Amino acid sequence: MLSIVHAPIMSNAVIDTVTFQSVLDARKRINAFVHRTAVVTSSTLDKLSGTRAFFKCENLQRTGSFKARGAHNAVFSLSEDVIKSGVLTHSSGNHAAALSLAAKCRSVPAYIVMPRGAPRSKIDAVERLGGIITFCEPTLASREAVAEQIRLNTGATLIHSYNDSRVIAGQGTAALEFLEDYPRLDVLIAPVGGGGLLSGSAVASRGVSPNISILGAEPLGASDAYQSMAKGELTPSVNPQTIADGLKASLGTLAYKILRENHVEIVTVSEEAIVSAMKLVFEILKQVIEPSSAVGVAALLDPASNLKGKQVGVILCGGNLDLERLPWITLK
């Protein structure tokens, strides 16, 4: 068993690195506010992949995704004099709901900038959790400009959805739990968009099991992380095209640094493979997952990943999707 220390006194500083100790501190800080999610297995998926596979169900996490971990760690890292002005982010997805919940747990406002035209289900989720929504144009420039104006008006602290060391450390607690429960994993797979989950998982995994292989799974139509690692320089995403909408963000600067330091490999998968993997998880594991979660499963099932005979852990990152638009129906 790992020796867990108490989290340090809260600090407002955002540092440009994430250590194994910061992941341990994050776990202590958020333990009362997030679920220790289940891990499920399937002999059928073992046969299909040629591996012994384990799936950590962050789709069953509070707010339906791993994002609750990073949001709570960031919010509970802030001192009382700073947090009283609330927190702020621009997000149309899972981070918006997660930050709204974390702010609610500290009884402070959460200001959420969302683009006009965001899915009604995501707007409803933020509103249910008490987030104060301001709509903007569907461009990054508009999101950032509106968020900056709110910050100036309110004094709220901006919590970026992935390019923040506190968020990354919080996301790493999913892998920390995973390897505590299954310490003999040979490979850990996590999807990658902005890179918060994958980079946090890399730090946590190296701290528990230094020789484990860490694999990032990315849609072929949004493969900026793959390109960045191959070129040795951060290469932003341009017009990403994928059903995995949670993975369209460009890899963050801090995540890129962490992935390189930890020798993380990135693999890409097709849209057809994502949809097929998602359907298999519904049918076999009986888990509701979003397309971003299925990207990791698609990598597991791809012979090109060279995983046969290995014990492989896959993080199912979330389960928030529009059930009226299931991809094996809408893509026909």
Is residue 82's pLDDT more than 70? Answer: yes
User: In the prediction, which pLDDT does 5 show?
Assistant: 35
* pLDDT band for position 129 (cuts 50, 70, 90): very high
Q: Which residues are annotated as catalytic?
A: 67, 92
C-alpha span between 325 and 27 (Å, rounded): 35
Which residue, among 169, 186, 168, 199, has the nearest Cα to 54 in the 3D structure? 186
Whether the CB-CB separation of 39 and 69 falls below 8 Å is answered with: no
User: In the prediction, which pLDDT does 12 show?
Assistant: 54
Tell me the mean pLDDT in the region 283-304: 97
Instruction: Looking at mean pLDDT, say which of 131-140, 232-241, 284-293 comes out highest.
Output: 284-293
User: In the prediction, which pLDDT does 264 show?
Assistant: 97
Numbered ranges of CATH 3.40.50.1100 in the chain: 20-65+164-330, 68-158
Which pTM was predicted? Answer: 0.92
The pLDDT tens digits of the residues spanning 20-30 come to: 999 999 999 99
**Architecture of the domain whose range is 20-65+164-330:** 3-Layer(aba) Sandwich (3.40)
Alpha helices (H) along the chain: 20-30, 43-49, 67-75, 80-83, 94-105, 120-128, 140-154, 165-181, 196-208, 224-231, 253-261, 271-280, 291-301, 327-330
CATH 3.40.50.300 at 68-158, yes or no: no
